[in-house]
Amino acid sequence: MAAVKTDISMNFQTKMYINGEWIDADGGGTLDVINPADESTIAKVAYGGRAEADRAIEAATKAFPKWSALTAYDRAKVLKKTADLMRERADRMARTLTLEQGKPLPEAKAEVLHAADTFEWFAEEGKRAYGQIIPQSNAMKRHHAIKHPVGVVGTITPWNFPITLPSRKIAPALAVGCTVVSRPAEQTPLVLIQLFECLQEAGAPPGVANLVLSSAVPFADSLFAHAAVRKISFTGSTPVGKELIRRSADGVKRLSLELGGHAPLIVFPDADVEQVAQAAVIGKFRNNGQVCIAPSRFYVHEKIAGRFTETAVEMTRKLKIGNGLEDGVQVGPMFEERALAKTASLIDDAKNKGAKILLGGERSKRFDKGYFFEPTVIREVDGAMRIMTEEPFAPVMPLIDFSKLEDVIAAANNTPFGLAAYVFTNDLTVATRMAEGLEAGIIGINDPVPATPQCPFGGMKESGMGRELGHEGLEAYLETKYVSIGLRAF
């Protein structure tokens, strides 16, 4: 396979952004950013720790009174301009994203544009942070409930959607008047740095939005240590989410948690098998299955299981794997070497317990370098296998037959996760019963890509707390202040 020329002279900004200035780490520390497609180092970014996080929080605390006192209309101008700049720079930002994360360029561009849409949507929705006038039961009183920004917000996000996920936090927080201290995952800082360049150029005042590049725990320590940080918004794994719940008790810090998932995709016999198989393959192998809402358990009605399996295997076989910068590539590398090891161990476990590998099942032998795994389809899967109980986050499609609606609802719900679920049917009654019976915060009925800025996104059970996007995603950064006014006799 010919090596793809990756332009490493992109002249990345590599510093962190604190109080309106681009700075190096105090001790001069740096961290290599690795291209998962060829294992080369594409940049060295500043890499600090607790001291930089403390300074960012102090800057955000100082900036809060002025920023929160602006009108929502003035704050919206900054957010809208940020969205415009992201759209103007979408090609460059997408290329950066592909270089550091690996996903194919068209997916990277769609991600950047989705993040821009999120900024624009919250710019507008911030103008609708309405309170309430509540009818009084005492003629000499008036009751109002008004909305107030929570304060300084800390955000922590993973590498799989390095610009979309922070945008779902930063945009609503800034829209309502909060100030923000953000930290990207270590593997993918560059595209988020470019978003902060847009925020700066769009006129976000110093201290309003800060970006810290550091290891995770000192950053979290700093958020928990400062009373001014009133909220932490986290996207990541369920175990780290649970740790944050425990740690937030002392300071009673508000939390929004977007955690792991294990989404069922359920196909009823009246569905169009070819169309659904295509949607299933695209949904499964997008970003190598490293998507929190990716379908990861495929329940197919026994009447169509044979045809569905054949079609899905054929479509998967045809997927073009390679460097995400190359034309036509549909599946890039996984994000790290350890992701390959975890995927292989899930497959070995399933194989040892009786699963049949129909396609793939191992690290790709087609590449000398890079973290490529062959897209994999397996059958004869049962509930005792780790792939059915642990969040796989991997390019593996496990196929399971079912016959009865009640049984498939029970099987789909038999997990601590409850993030997303997908149903394919043309029967309105079946669709309604499934939507009502499935325990998931996001349900796509004949829709494999339900996420959009104006609709609520988040999980039930151990998949999270709270919602992002939609009006609920704005409420997540607001307190309700009840004001009761006693009148004098007139």
Task: Answer yes or no whether residue 326 interacts with ligand NAP by CB under 6 A.
Answer: no
171 contributes a contact to ligand NAP by CB under 6 A: no
Binding track over 93-132 against ligand NAP, x by CB under 6 A? ----------------------------------------
Nearest residue to the partner ligand NAP, using Cβ: 236
Nearer to ligand NAP by C-beta: 236 or 473? Answer: 236
Q: Which of 162, 459, 470, 473 binds ligand NAP (CB under 6 A)?
A: 459
- Catalytic, out of 292, 391, 439, 468: 292
Minimum separation from the CB atom of position 141 to ligand NAP (A): 43
Residue 304 DSSP SS3: coil
DSSP H or E stretch at residue 313: helix 305-317
Instruction: Please say which residue, 177 or 441, places its beta carbon nearer to ligand NAP.
Output: 441
Binds ligand NAP by CB under 6 A, chosen from 8, 133, 217, 483: 217
Residue 258: active-site member? yes
Among the listed ranges 155-163, 264-272, 276-284, 376-384, the one in contact with ligand NAP (CB under 6 A) is: 155-163
Cα 92 from Cα 7, distance rounded (Å): 11
Q: Is 186 in the site for ligand NAP (CB under 6 A)?
A: yes
Contact 201, 14 (CB under 8 A): no
Contact status: 57 vs ligand NAP (CB under 6 A): no
For 254-283, give the DSSP string: EEEEE----EEEEE-TTS-HHHHHHHHHHH
Site pattern 391..410 for ligand NAP (x: CB under 6 A): x-x-----------------
Indicate whether 196 belongs to the interface with ligand NAP (CB under 6 A): no
Figure out which of the listed residues 13, 237, 278, 446 binds ligand NAP, where binding follows CB under 6 A. Answer: 237
Q: What is the spatial distance between Cα 50 and Cα 219, in angstroms, rounded to a whole number?
A: 6
Q: CA-to-CA distance for 228 and 223, rounded, in angstroms?
A: 9
Nearer to ligand NAP, 126 or 261 (CB): 261
> Which of 1, 4, 72, 240 is close enough to bind ligand NAP by CB under 6 A?
240
Rg of the chain taking only CA atoms, in angstroms: 24
Beta carbon of residue 310, minimum distance to ligand NAP (angstroms, whole number): 30
Cα pseudo-dihedral 100, 104, 298, 420, rounded to 10: 60
CB 92 within 8 A of CB 12: no
Q: CB of 156 within 8 A of CB of 220? A: yes
Of positions 464, 466, 470, 473, contacts ligand NAP by CB under 6 A: 464
Contacts of 213 (CB under 8 A, 6+ apart): 16, 25, 31, 45, 46, 47, 48, 52, 183, 184, 189
CA distance 319 to 308: 17
158 binds ligand NAP (CB under 6 A): yes
Please, are residues 117 and 453 in contact by the beta-carbon 8 Å criterion? yes
Query: Is 292 one of the annotated active-site residues of the chain?
Result: yes
Compare residues 151 and 166 and give the one whose CB is closer to ligand NAP.
166
Least spacing, CB of residue 2 vs ligand NAP, in Å? 31
Q: In whole angstroms, how close is the CB of 84 to ligand NAP at the nearest point?
A: 26
- Spot the catalytic one: 52, 58, 100, 258: 258
Lookup: tokens for 438 = 């499935």
Q: Report, in Å, the least distance between residue 159 CB and ligand NAP.
A: 6
Site string for ligand NAP, 251-270 (x = CB under 6 A): -------xxxx---------
Q: Does 243 bind ligand NAP (CB under 6 A)?
A: yes
User: Applying CB under 6 A, does 156 fall inside the site for ligand NAP?
Assistant: yes
CB 2 within 8 A of CB 366: no
Amino acid at 404: K
292 interacts with ligand NAP by CB under 6 A: yes
DSSP annotation of 163 reads T
- Alpha carbon distance 389, 403 (integer Å): 21
Using the rule CB under 6 A, is 216 a contact of ligand NAP? Answer: yes
As given in the structure block, the two tokens for residue 159 are 């590498």
Query: 257 phi and psi, to 5 degrees?
Result: -125, 120
| Of 217 and 487, CB closest to ligand NAP | 217
User: What are the Cα distances from residue 46, in Å, to 17, 193, 414, 419?
Assistant: 10, 11, 44, 34
Catalytic residue positions, numbered:
258, 292
Which parts of this chain interact with ligand NAP (CB under 6 A)? 156-161, 165, 185-186, 216-217, 220, 235-237, 240, 243, 258-261, 292, 391, 393, 419, 459, 464
